[in-house]
Structure formats: structure tokens, C-alpha cells
Amino acid sequence: MEFEPVIGLEIHAQLLTRTKIFCGCSTRFGAPANSHGCPVCLGLPGALPVLNRAAVELGMRAALALGCQIAATSVFARKNYFYPDLPKGYQISQFELPLATGGHLALPGSGVEVGLTRIHLEEDAGKSLHEGFADSQRKSYVDFNRSGVPLIEIVTEPDLRSPSDAKSFFTTLRDILVTLDVNDGNMEEGSLRCDANVSVRPAGQSALGVKAEVKNLNSFRFLERALEHEIGRQTDLLRAGDRVVQETRLWDAASGRTAAMRSKEEAHDYRYFPEPDLPPLQIAPPWIDEVRATLPELPAERRARLVRDHGLTRDQAEQVMRGRAGLTEYFEEVVAASVPARAAINWTLGEVTRTLNEADDQVDALRQRVPPAALAALVALVEQSTISGTVAKDVFEQMYASRESAATIVDRDGLAQIDDADALEVTVREVLASHDDAVSQYRAGKHGALGFLVGQMMKATRGKANPKLVNELLRKAIDD
């Protein structure tokens, strides 16, 4: 019997606010342990939370970009559980009435649409540290800097059918959140985290199987590998006539396996009830419109526009967008400076990217050294056949190093292309005289030999000869 996996994801994204969600403490990562705390985020008796408006707006940005409906009224609730990194004994989250519902995300290239169940706001817990201390054998430590940092939780419908689609969803979502300035996309620092609900069922069956929740999937690769392992494990159980138990499992990257962590808790285990210290969150339409007006162009729209407006291939659009921050804008400014898009994209993905990688520079450095207009002037010299494409690459390198204009470098170094047949005459004779073999091969009908001779001409003129003219001259000289 064939089995089909059914996957849904829950993604926690830390919102890029300066301060925590219910107090004025800093959210900065990497500060000394327990240096960002106050009575509110440490849960001291009598301290009252005040909602951070910036956190709400970032949540709204994500919700609007993903096509969700923002609730006119959403309600914060207490999710009660005991853990040492949660001093209040409850986490403030949203339960029955979340910030937003619905929405969807299309996976690029596959046509798969993944529905979103909800997006809600909540606070993060502190962090338990079990390693790195002399007495780690006997003790754990707690750092409360993260306690009260604002999060959104994005929950998908169980619409994913393969580990690779799950990975594609997560990468696409990350790109969107980073583009929106909602999240920094940094999975190593834990500001973007993913859990997965996985079940398998006989192919063609519509009822869902029993699911396991897999936690600790903090890289794209781990997400894919953990899902592959978990789907295999559940399929083996069902094939053997056993049952899958509903539970929470932890991915262990070292062993490449998931292991049971605890039996899956149900919502009622958390005794959710409305947070009495916070009024319901009211969001009126004008506020939604205001936030919507500030949304940037999203990756899918941008990709489509680059293909439509500049005739890029999908792959080129993808590559330039995946390049360093600001590379797409740079490319578009080069085009705006009257460079044909085809030449502009070749330069951007070729010499420009290679140089940035070699120097490990950002696009800001590129803009200072070779502004879009300066690159446009260089490309124009090639288009007018003043210099060859090969020479242009060297000129670009010099422009990057010295910040001089292309014209200055070409004039000073005498790099202009040799377009004068008379000026090339002597070199043509020399090249032919010293490569008898190639000449006879060409005469014998091996046309490839001409390419070799052209190469020798370019070498002799340090790339300055006009290749088209060289071709003609060589052919004429041999045929004569």
C-alpha cells in the first residue's frame, strides 16, 4: 500500500522591534545574560503589561503581505504551564481570537498553494542553559533576556505533501518576512524557528492520520531531513500493522532521527483564559490601510516584474534577487541609465557579483566605487565598439579599484579598440606566418582553425583588436 504524508508547519518569528512586547526592555541579541529585565518581563507580582504598538504593526505587515484577514478585535490569553524559563507561570499569547486568519502562500515554480490557518501575537519565554558551566552536571541556568520578546506564530493548514515543499514554504516565507523588515531571518540566533505536524495516511484516503509534532527544526536542511525521517518512521509503523502515537518529538541532528519527547498536550491542558491585564486589541480599518500602504514589493511580485519588464529569465531574476542586498536595485538603475537589460543583467551577475564576492563588499561599496551611471558609461563603450568585451572587464576592475571613469582609463591606457584595417595588417601577417599548421587546417576545411588564429590576434593586440574585423582580415589574407 502506498502512503502519503500530510504536513503542516508552525513558524515562530521574532518581530524586529527595539523593545519587548509588554515592557520597555531592549530586545537586542547577545547582551550579557539577564541584563534586559524588569518587573513586567520577569513576572513579578503586581507588574502590568502594556502592549507595544510596533509589535502589532509588524504582525499586521506580515498578515497583510500573506493575504490574511486582520481581526477587528483580537484577544490576548494566558497559556498556563510550568517551566523554569517562564517565571509568570503562563505565556501571554492569543488563542480563540488571533490577530489574523486565512491567507495563503504560493510555492514558487510549483503552483502549490499553502493555506494559512492563523497568525497570532505572543511573547517569547526565557532561555534555559544546560551546558557550558562548571556545574552543568547538576544545574541549569536561566537567561531572561528573551523573556517577553515579541513573536508572531504563523500556522499553516495541513496542505504540504512533501519534505521538499515544506522546505520551499519555509524559505519563501523567510524571504517575505525579511523583505518586510518583520524578522531578521536569523535561524542560528533563534529569531526564526519551525515546528512541523506530520502524519501519513494511505494514498487516496481523505481522513488524516495520527500526527506527531516535530520540534527543533532550526535550519532548512534539518526541516527537510527531519520530515523525511519522520515520514519513514510512521510509514514503517503502519506497514507493520502498528499505530502512530500522538506525541511531540524532538529532532536530533547528530543522529539524524526524531525521538519522543512527551505525549502531545491538548489545548485544554493549558487552561487558556483571557488575559485580564490587557484590553482586547482593536484594529480599525484606517489603521490597516495605513500599514498596507507601507508594504514593499514582495519577492514573488518582484520576480514577476523583472521577467515581465526587463525580459529576464526566471533564473536570472532569481539569481539577482538572491544576490547581495540592494543588487536588484543596482541592476535596475543601470537599466534606467539606458543600458539594454540583457547587457545590464550579464554585468550584474557576472563581473559585478564576482568582484563583490572577491572583495567581500556590500552593494553600498559598489555604489561608491562604480555608481550605476558609471557602469552604464562603460557598457556604452562596448556597445559602440570603442572597446572589446574582454578589455571592458579589465576596465571595470580598474574602475572598482581607483573609482576613475571608464573613459579616463581607456584614454590613458590606450585601450580603444583597433578598428583600422591598416593598423592590423602587420599583425595579421605575423600571426599567419607563425602558425602555418592552423592556416593549412583552415584551407583543408577545418573552420575551427580560424578561431584559433583570431585568438592569437587578440593576444597579440592585448584584446584591443575588433574581433569582427580580425575575422574578415584573416579570411581575406588566407584566401588571397
Kindly list the residues in this chain that would bind Zn ion in the complex (CB under 5 A).
23, 25, 38, 40-41
Q: Is 268 exposed, middle or buried (0-12, 13-18, 19+ CB in 10 A)?
A: exposed
If we measure between CA atoms, which residue out of 301, 282, 306 comes closest to residue 97? 282
Residue 25 vs 432, nearer CB to Zn ion: 25
* H or E element, residue 5: strand 3-14
Give the C-alpha separation, 201 to 101, whole Å.
27
The least distance separating Zn ion from the CB of residue 130, rounded to whole angstroms, comes to 24
If we measure between CA atoms, which residue out of 383, 286, 280, 392 comes closest to residue 339? 383
Phi and psi at residue 59, to the nearest 5°:
-60, -40
DSSP string, 133-153: STTTTT--EEE-TTTT-EEEE
The least distance separating Zn ion from the CB of residue 147, rounded to whole angstroms, comes to 8
The least distance separating Zn ion from the CB of residue 52, rounded to whole angstroms, comes to 11
Residue 145 vs 168, nearer CB to Zn ion: 145
Residue 37 vs 323, nearer CB to Zn ion: 37
Residue 15 vs 474, nearer CB to Zn ion: 15
Q: Is the separation of the CB atoms in 194 and 166 below 8 Å?
A: no
Residue 84 vs 202, nearer CB to Zn ion: 84
Q: Is the separation of the CB atoms in 284 and 290 below 8 Å?
A: no
One-letter amino acid for residue 413 of the chain: D
If we measure between CA atoms, which residue out of 296, 291, 301 comes closest to residue 70? 291
The least distance separating Zn ion from the CB of residue 223, rounded to whole angstroms, comes to 32
The least distance separating Zn ion from the CB of residue 95, rounded to whole angstroms, comes to 23
C-alpha angle 293-294-298 in degrees, rounded to nearest 5:
105
The least distance separating Zn ion from the CB of residue 144, rounded to whole angstroms, comes to 9
And the C-alpha cell for 245?
Answer: 502515537
Residue 123 vs 153, nearer CB to Zn ion: 123
Residue 23 vs 344, nearer CB to Zn ion: 23
The least distance separating Zn ion from the CB of residue 146, rounded to whole angstroms, comes to 11
Residue linked to cell 576592475: 397
